[in-house]
Amino acid sequence: MTAPAYGNLTTDLAEHLANLGFGQWNPNGIYKSFAPPAIYLGIIPDEAGPSIALNIYHHSTTNGRDTGTPEIRVQIRIKGSRDPRLAQWVGNDIYTALHEQTDYELDNGTRVLLSQRVLTHEERDPNLVWHRVDSYAFTVNPS
C-alpha cells in the first residue's frame, strides 16, 4: 500500500478548504478577487491579496507507521491584511475544521485517519500585512 502523492494531498486539501468556504480554489492559480481568500499550492505571489498557501514539508513512516499510513506535515500559510484579525479568523476556522479530526475523506478521495495542528505562529511582512502560519500533521491512508 502506498501513500497518495504529495500533489494529490495538497490539491485535495485545497478543494476541501474551498468547499468548506474558507477560500477559493483555482488549479491554475489565477484569481480575479481575493474574497474569499485565494488558495495556492506553494508560494503566495507578492501581488496577491488575502490568500492561503499549502506546502508539504515533512513525510514520516516512523513511529510505528508503515508506508501505507504516513504522517505528512503541511504548512498552511494564511496571508491576511494589515488588520491582524483577518488571518486569525481564517486560521481559527481551519483549526475548527481540521484539528483532532479522525477518519474522514477529503473531497477527491484522500483518506485522513487523523489531522492535528502541531505548530502555529503569526508574523508581519515588510508591508505590515499579517500572516498566520499553521502546521498540521495528517496521517493518511489511501484505502
Grid cell at residue 94: 481551519
Q: What is the pLDDT of residues 4-24, one digit of tens each?
A: 555 689 999 999 999 999 999
What does the domain layout of the chain look like in residue ranges?
A: 8-23+35-141
Grid cell at residue 136: 498540521
CATH 3.30.565.10 describes domain 8-23+35-141: no
pLDDT for residue 47: 92
Q: What is the mean pLDDT of the chain?
A: 90
Q: Using CA atoms, how far apart are residues 134 and 131, in angstroms rounded to an integer?
A: 10
Q: Using CA atoms, how far apart are residues 53 and 42, in angstroms rounded to an integer?
A: 6
Measured at the alpha carbon of residue 49, what is the angle toward residues 40 and 131, in degrees to the nearest 5? 75
Q: What is the pLDDT of residues 39-80, one digit of tens each?
A: 999 999 999 999 999 999 988 776 665 566 788 999 999 999
**142: pLDDT confidence band, cut at 50, 70 and 90?**
low
Percentage of residues in the chain with pLDDT exceeding 70?
Answer: 89
